[in-house]
Amino acid sequence: MSNQIVQGILLGGYYALIACGLSFMFSVMRIINLAHGSLAVFSAYALWWLASRFHISPFVGLLIVLPLMAAIGWVLQRFLLERSARGGALLPILTTFGLAIVIDNALFEQFGADTRSLAPYIGSLSYDSWEWPGSIYVGKLAVIMFAAAVVMLGGLQLFLTRTRLGRSIRATSEDPDTAGLVGVDARRASALAAAIAMVTVGLAGAFLGMRATFDPYTGAPQLLFAFEAAVIGGAGSLWGTLLGGIVLALAQTLGAQVHPQGFLIGGHVAFLIVLFIRLSTSGLGLRGLVRLPARKTT
């Protein structure tokens, strides 16, 4: 049993990685990015293409793909999301939903329906494991993933609290109008935040490709996991996201213990229970899902 718990916690690292960008974009730009999973799959395909075509190891490939994802985030915010946000709160959701469809089908068009994986390109890392006391075997990749999640969340936390740019982003997320009045370029801060969010998505996509297989339509389930982990952890809280990822993974592991096909059900049940508790105890209705103060209006 302790073996399963350890595996569950480590899997939680992956969910935290994929939820991090979703929750970050939501807390800073108030945008629920439904293209989140598809963008992660896009990143996985980009790494796969570099590896299969040019024999570039996925870890080296990240040096190319992550800056590309950052640029995509910047452009998305500046030319798509910022404009659609002017049309009300619903429009960005629809926009990203449409974007997800476009990305999924473009990937299908380009790469076909075949299932791919990055596992063949990372050597023995995909199956190697360490033996821990108590004859627990942990996959090296799972440990790396978990460490990456902790480093990324911690790094983001430090960036947001300790640097001038981080403070600008937080100020913009709290009150863009007043941020402008103290000298912060709110549009730039939002575009930068989108770029950062996409870097985390790119990293999540890389691990998705290494630990499992993907096809052009893998985005939707990834979005679902990200969404569940973010809501369980309380959207808008970075460390909460890690906790949310772990809870989701443990619930899935437990579900699989109960019934061979209970893996996904276990996660959904945990998600619904947390959702129900949040809705009934916060007294705020759906707004209680979010650990954010209402944005000030002027």
Q: For binding to another protein (CB under 8 A), which residues are involved?
A: 164, 167-168, 170-171, 174-175, 177-186, 293, 296, 298
Name the residue nearer to another protein (CB basis): 260 or 293: 293
For residues 23 and 190, give the distance between their C-alpha atoms in angstroms, rounded to a whole number.
Answer: 14
Name the residue nearer to another protein (CB basis): 159 or 217: 159
CB of 181 to another protein, least distance (A): 5
Name the residue nearer to another protein (CB basis): 145 or 186: 186
CB of 163 to another protein, least distance (A): 10
Distances (CA, A) of 142 to 36, 99, 116, 145, 212: 22, 31, 19, 5, 11
CA 256 to chain centre: 23
- Burial, 2: exposed, middle or buried (Cβ in 10 Å; 0-12, 13-18, 19+)? exposed
Render 23-88 in DSSP notation, one character per residue.
HHHHHHH----TTHHHHHHHHHHHHHHHHHHH---HHHHHHHHHHHHHHHHHHIIIIIIHHHHTT-
- Give the amino acid at 195: A
CB of 286 to another protein, least distance (A): 21
Name the residue nearer to another protein (CB basis): 147 or 181: 181
Report residue 283: phi and psi, to 5°: 70, 5
Name the residue nearer to another protein (CB basis): 186 or 231: 186
Name the residue nearer to another protein (CB basis): 187 or 268: 187
CB of 86 to another protein, least distance (A): 14
CB of 80 to another protein, least distance (A): 21
CB of 164 to another protein, least distance (A): 7
Cβ 212 vs Cβ 117: under 8 Å: yes
Coil, helix or strand at residue 295: coil
